Chain A
Amino acid sequence: MNIVISNRSDEPIYNQIYQQLRAAIVREELAAGEPLPSIRSLARDLQVSVITTKRAYDELERDGYIETVAGKGSFVAPQNAELLREKRVNLIEEKLVTVIHEARTLGLSLPELQRIVELLYEEVL
């Protein structure tokens, strides 16, 4: 699993960690029950502060992606298949929101955007 952190991005660092771990869980690169690195070792390896990493883990736990067992660490929470699909759709939606913002700044209309998506959907295998 790769985690890439940008220090110059507007996206807070805890959120960059959250997003990338969540994506790995939803794409099932990290399987249910699999242990996550400890907060402190991840902080050391990513060269970010402990508190930042802790916040990412707290939010992953709050949103049901991971479970923390006192004294043992954090593990990927079991994901219900239907829910998992829904979450993956959510990820796509989030990306589409960015696309829509971009399209609006360019002044693309909805039909124009739809046309692009249709063309690409056929083209991309």
Chain B
Amino acid sequence: MENVLEIEGLSKSLGDFRLHEVSFALPRGYVMGFIGPNGAGKTTTIKLVMNLMRRDSGEIRVFGLDNRRYEKEIKQRIGFVYDESHFYGELSILDNRRIAASFYRDWDEKVFQQRLRDFDLPAHKKVKDLSRGMRTKFGLALALSHGADFLIMDEPTSGLDPVFRSELMDILRQLMMEENKSVLFSTHITTDLERVADYICFINQGRIVLCQSKDEILQGHVLVKGALDLLTPEAERLFIGLRKNQYGFEGLSADPRRVRQVLGDRVLAELPSLDDIMIYNVRGHQSV
């Protein structure tokens, strides 16, 4: 399978923060959700992919090409949506579009006009008067109007309401009808990803914790609830993270089969959400 993005051993120190030897790949034609708590290294990784920051070490290839050597070619084929305000607030949508369009060889005005209609964007309104959701949609309209094959979005849904977020997911699903499109999408709101993402990459404190297909990740974990007296030291070791209170415990395990052998039907075993997986990995063992 051909990869649209390959990252190998990527490291970067920024003050107290360090990105440690990050490696992962995204096959062409799929959506990858890049998740982790705030400050985990998502934006740093994306900035390094976009070559907006200097790395300490490591390799990044986009469309199989080194992202520094072939930066210009690569960026013609990437649609990039990032957190807010890279627009000129005093200018209208159309004037902002004129500036952005001038950077792209394959700018397609017809497609852009169609996106404006699809996304209900007011062409003559000043960007500073747009709501946050509209600005994100405008960013997406720009990113999707120059024939990009790879869409990279940094936290496109943060601060947006559920209705807008579901609209954005519909746009992504429509985009993925084309086999050669790929999406890398960072977020800390994992519910957005539970349905649309093919792959999930989970980063915490600058290190990749998990990077697999979403189905493998969800089925490879189990959320267990039960009475406290079942938690022998042997049982406790099954869990990545545990929460206990006087009425019982809840914990996440990455070994559903062992959980079944050791605890059987004395506990309630549920399919975890991506949030559960993220929270228990980050918080680990603690009593509440």
Contact = CB atoms under 8 A, between A and B. Distances in A.
Given A7-B194, A49-B31, A51-B199, A14 B176 contact: no
B95 to A, nearest CB: 34
A44 B195 contact: no
A50 B195 contact: no
B199 A43 contact: no
B213 A51 contact: yes
Interface string B174-194: 101111000000000000001
A52 B214 CA distance: 9
Contact of A14 (B30, B195, B215): B215
B83 interface: no
A43 B173 contact: yes
Interface size class of B (residues with CB under 8 A): 20 to 34
B215 A52 contact: yes
Contacts of B196: 47, 49
Interface string A30-51: 0000000000110110011111
A51 B30 CA distance: 8
Given A13-B215, A49-B195, A44 B271 contact: no
Given A12-B215, A41-B177, A43-B176, A48 B195 contact: yes
A50 to B, nearest CB: 6
Chain B interface SS verdict (over half): mixed
B245 interface: no
Interface string A42-75: 0110011111100100000000000000000000
B214 A47 contact: no
Interface in B177-228: 177-179, 194-199, 213-215, 219
Contacts of B30: 49-51
The listed residue with most B CB atoms (<10 A of its CB), out of A10, A14, A50, is A50
A47 B270 CA distance: 22
A10 to B, nearest CB: 6
A55 B215 contact: yes
A7 B194 CA distance: 9
Contacts of A13: 215
B114 to A, nearest CB: 18
20 contacts: A7-B194, A7-B195, A9-B271, A10-B270, A10-B271, A14-B215, A40-B176, A40-B177, A40-B179, A43-B176, A44-B173, A44-B174, A47-B169, A47-B196, A48-B195, A50-B29, A51-B213, A51-B214, A52-B215, A55-B215
For the complex of A and B, list the 10 residue pairs with the smallest distance between their C-beta atoms, beginning with the closest: A51-B198, A44-B173, A49-B198, A47-B195, A40-B177, A51-B213, A50-B198, A10-B271, A52-B215, A12-B219
Interface of A: 7-10, 12-14, 40-41, 43-44, 47-52, 55
